[in-house]
């Protein structure tokens, strides 16, 4: 994987909120077709990093490169063309409440694809069918459960057959079964469509089930403290990493770190 | 990624190679319908590596159209694609109606639902008023239970901060009333009665009404938005399970604050309204301030002011109750909060004017010295 040309690269990134820095010296690459999981404890800057990766905020320093070009270069043109080739699934699904699920999924299609409404409806429906919501095409987001909203959000993220999908805490608030189903869905989409996935989460079972590679952030060093395959991280010598992957209380990690 | 598609046509055979993307499926559907005009078509997909979903839908649609007039044979389609197409075939009809404009019948259903909702709202408002009166009774019995700091906060927000706008607007309206009535009265040489008209209009109607409408616009909406947002964020549920009396916590401080500030705001409105009349009298009618004042003194009763303050009290009850009640009706998400604020203002202003009409009817009958 490591010798392939990266689809996304983060280089020397630094950022935070207001005047408080959360991230510094963040550098890593995402290879095409891999499932990269970014983990860390609450408040370590995972979601902030994701915001920088998808271009919702501009980093203080450093850059995010999509297929080799800085997403902020060329006065936003790189970013807007990159956005047509990636999808983002937000924590709560972020569906528009005034539209049905089908219309929600049709939204990016009708914006970026010059096809007749009947064709768009079929394509959107196919995506809902993929996430198991075929029977809810005419429902509104508030009429369905949180897990279903998230699946519908995934259908929308997949609407344009993106090369890459970003997930912000996909399993947060889901029951173990729904969460496992979502993991399975993510894996099967990755396998069948070759979609690159970047997933921010702190759900251990998810990480174990789906990750090709894991990057761990920690607030104490404001950056990456470990990366590699999940089996490697479980045996990592840093006690912060050890505590995370073995569900141990913080005290045991703090004594050493 | 696989190499992009290429589409070639040989006689009636249309061959697709590579990965078919949605962005360029237009060329394929065009070619297909062009060949179809001349007779049967063969679509050869054996060299096609795959299709984006939107492309698959577009090809499906094009083939379906072509089949209306001629025969279309598909060769070498993957079983996965055929499955997707089969599903499209089954669902295409049903999907047509999703997201379409509403039919006449659903419009009528909507009207019926709205009537039921309206009834539900009226019943809800009445029961909410009863509950807040009960909570008010509890507060009066145990004054220590009042959240004084909250009440003071709302008195500042709804009362003190409303003084400038109420003052300016009432002064302007007093000026206009003085000018308009002076203009009419002048034709009869009766401009001496201008202070009577301004005095009655301002203290009986304009003062209380304007104060109430402004407070409704500022605070009824704010109350609805505050409680509505708390409902959306489950803060109200949290208070309830912690054992708080939600009325005591959320409604009573607002109610008490408005009850205390509204009569004062009415007095302030009266003052500025009468001041407007005085100034325009001096400027437009050459009426000295002393004449204006002595005329007011002659025709107005202290009761006129008290009655206006009483109106203010009633309006305060209406505005606070409607604002809080509308907030508690928020169920869904953020968009409902916006709706609730609008509803709160419109309902509060409507009820204030209805109440004003009723109270005024009573007043003209009981006021001493009014010749009917």
Q: Are residues B67 and B124 in the same domain?
A: no
Query: Is the C-alpha dihedral spanning A202, A208, A211, A215 positive or negative?
Result: positive
* CATH value at residue B34: 3.30.750.24
Task: Say if A197 falls within a structural domain.
Answer: no
Closest-CA distance of chain B to residue A27, Å: 25
Place of tokens 């209306």: B68
Q: Which residues contact B200 (CB under 8 A, 6 or more apart)?
A: B299, B300, B304
Q: Are residues B226 and B295 in the same domain?
A: yes
**Total tally of structural domains belonging to chain A:** 1
Answer yes or no: do A115 and B99 touch at CB < 8 A: no
Q: Are residues B317 and B283 in the same domain?
A: yes
Q: Which residues contact B84 (CB under 8 A, 6 or more apart)?
A: A126, B53, B56, B60
How many other C-beta atoms lie within 10 A of the C-beta of residue B303? 15
* Residue of B26, B91, B335 lying closest to A125 (CB–CB): B91
C-alpha to C-alpha distance for B282 and A80, rounded to whole angstroms: 67
Q: Which residues of chain A make contact with B1, given a CB cutoff of 8 A?
A: 32, 163, 194
Task: Say if B141 falls within a structural domain.
Answer: yes
Ramachandran quadrant class, A71 (left: phi over 0; alpha: psi -120 to 50; beta: rest): alpha
Q: Are residues B335 and B193 in the same domain?
A: yes
Task: Say if B101 falls within a structural domain.
Answer: no
Q: Are residues B150 and B71 in the same domain?
A: no
Q: Are residues B71 and B132 in the same domain?
A: no
- Residues A199-237: pLDDT tens digits? 998 888 888 888 889 888 888 888 888 888 888 888 888
**Total tally of structural domains belonging to chain B:** 2
Which pairs count as long-range contacts for B284-289, CB under 8 Å and 24+ apart, including other chains? B284/B178, B284/B179, B284/B182, B285/B178, B285/B182, B285/B186, B285/B191, B285/B194, B287/B191, B287/B192, B287/B194, B287/B195
pTM greater than 0.80 (yes/no): no
Chain B, nearest residue to A95 by Cα: B333
Task: Say if A6 falls within a structural domain.
Answer: no
- Among B43, B64, B96, identify where a domain stops: B96
Task: Say if B80 falls within a structural domain.
Answer: yes
Range of the domain at A106: 94-161
Answer yes or no: do B87 and A114 touch at CB < 8 A: no
- Among B42, B68, B96, identify where a domain stops: B96
- Torsion angle of alpha carbons B306, B311, B314, B315, nearest 10°? -130
Task: Say if A128 falls within a structural domain.
Answer: yes
Closest-CA distance of chain A to residue B311, Å: 41
Secondary structure of residue B231 in the 3-state scheme: helix
Task: Say if B325 falls within a structural domain.
Answer: yes
Task: Say if A171 falls within a structural domain.
Answer: no
Task: Say if A245 falls within a structural domain.
Answer: no
Q: Which residues of A have a CB under 8 Å from any CB of B?
A: 32, 97-100, 102-103, 106, 109, 113-116, 118-123, 125-127, 129, 134, 137-138, 142, 159-161, 163, 194
Q: Which residues of chain A make contact with B330, given a CB cutoff of 8 A?
A: none
Task: Say if B297 falls within a structural domain.
Answer: yes
Range of the domain at B69: 6-96
* Residue of A109, A122, A142 lying closest to B61 (CB–CB): A122
Q: Are residues B211 and B286 in the same domain?
A: yes
* Residue of B23, B54, B97 lying closest to A119 (CB–CB): B54
Task: Say if A204 falls within a structural domain.
Answer: no
Task: Say if A23 falls within a structural domain.
Answer: no
Q: What is the pLDDT along chain B (372 residues), one digit of tens a residue?
A: 444 567 888 888 888 888 888 877 888 888 888 888 888 888 888 888 888 888 888 888 888 888 888 888 888 888 888 888 888 888 777 777 665 666 778 788 888 888 888 888 899 999 999 999 999 998 889 888 888 888 999 999 999 999 999 999 999 999 999 999 999 999 998 889 999 999 999 999 999 999 999 999 999 999 999 999 998 887 888 888 777 788 888 999 999 999 999 999 999 999 999 999 999 999 998 899 999 999 999 889 899 999 999 999 999 999 999 999 999 998 877 778 888 999 999 999 999 999 999 999 998 888 887 543
Task: Say if B233 falls within a structural domain.
Answer: yes
């Amino acid at each position: 994987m490591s010798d392939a040309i990266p689809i996304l690269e983060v280089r020397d990134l630094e950022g935070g909120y207001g005047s408080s820095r959360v991230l510094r010296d963040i550098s890593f690459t995402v290879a095409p077709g891999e499932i990269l999981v970014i983990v860390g404890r609450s408040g370590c800057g995972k979601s902030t990093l994701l915001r920088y990766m998808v271009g919702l905020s501009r980093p203080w320093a450093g850059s995010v490169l999509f297929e080799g070009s800085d997403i902020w270069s060329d006065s936003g043109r790189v970013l807007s063309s990159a956005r047509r080739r990636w999808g983002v699934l937000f924590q709560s699904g972020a569906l528009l409440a005034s539209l049905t699920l089908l219309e929600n999924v049709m939204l990016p299609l009708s914006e970026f694809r010059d096809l007749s409404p009947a064709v768009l409806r079929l394509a959107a429906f196919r995506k809902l069918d993929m996430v198991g919501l075929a029977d809810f095409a005419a429902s509104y987001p508030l009429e369905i459960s949180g897990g279903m909203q998230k699946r519908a959000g995934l259908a929308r993220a997949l609407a344009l057959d993106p090369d890459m999908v970003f997930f912000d805490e996909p399993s947060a608030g889901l029951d173990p079964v729904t969460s496992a189903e979502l993991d399975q869905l993510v894996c099967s989409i990755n396998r069948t469509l070759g979609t690159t996935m970047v997933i921010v989460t702190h759900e251990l079972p998810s990480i174990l089930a789906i990750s090709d590679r894991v990057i761990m952030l920690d607030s104490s060093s404001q950056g990456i403290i470990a990366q590699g395959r999940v089996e490697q991280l479980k045996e990592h010598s840093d006690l912060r990493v050890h505590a995370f992957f073995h569900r141990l209380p913080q005290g045991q990690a703090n004594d050493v770190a | 990624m696989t190499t992009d598609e290429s589409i070639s046509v040989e006689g009636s055979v249309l061959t697709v190679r590579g990965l078919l993307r949605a962005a360029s499926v237009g060329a394929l559907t065009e070619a297909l319908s062009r060949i179809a005009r001349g007779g049967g078509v063969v679509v050869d997909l054996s060299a096609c590596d795959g299709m984006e979903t939107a492309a698959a839908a577009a090809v499906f649609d094009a083939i379906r159209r072509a089949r209306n007039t001629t025969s279309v044979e598909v060769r070498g389609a993957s079983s996965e694609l055929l499955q997707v197409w089969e599903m499209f075939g089954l669902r295409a009809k049903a999907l047509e109606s999703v997201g379409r404009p509403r039919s006449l019948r659903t419009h009528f259903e909507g009207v019926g639902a709205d009537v039921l909702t309206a009834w539900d709202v009226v019943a809800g408002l009445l029961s909410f008023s009863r509950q807040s009166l009960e909570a008010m009774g509890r507060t009066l019995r145990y004054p220590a239970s009042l959240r004084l700091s909250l009440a003071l906060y709302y008195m500042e927000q709804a009362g003190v901060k409303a003084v400038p706008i109420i003052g300016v607007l009432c002064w302007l309206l007093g000026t206009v009333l003085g000018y308009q009535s002076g203009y009419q009265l002048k034709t009869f040489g009766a401009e001496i009665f201008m202070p009577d008209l301004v005095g009655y209009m301002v203290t009986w109607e304009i003062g209380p009404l304007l104060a109430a409408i402004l407070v409704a616009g500022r605070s009824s909406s704010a109350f609805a938005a505050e409680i509505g947002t708390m409902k959306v964020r489950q803060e109200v549920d949290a208070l309830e399970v912690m054992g708080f009396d939600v009325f005591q916590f959320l409604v009573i401080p607002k109610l008490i604050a408005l009850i205390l500030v509204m009569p004062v705001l009415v007095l302030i409105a009266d003052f500025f309204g009468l001041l407007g009349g005085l100034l325009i009298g001096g400027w437009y009618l050459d009426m000295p301030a002393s004449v204006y004042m002595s005329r007011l003194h002659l025709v107005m009763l202290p009761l006129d002011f008290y009655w206006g303050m009483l109106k203010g009290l009633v309006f305060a009850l209406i505005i606070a109750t409607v604002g809080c009640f509308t907030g508690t009706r928020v169920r869904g998400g953020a968009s409902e909060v916006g709706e609730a604020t609008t509803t709160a203002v419109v309902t509060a202003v409507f009820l204030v004017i209805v109440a004003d009409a009723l109270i005024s009817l009573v007043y003209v009958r009981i006021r001493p010295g009014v010749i009917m």
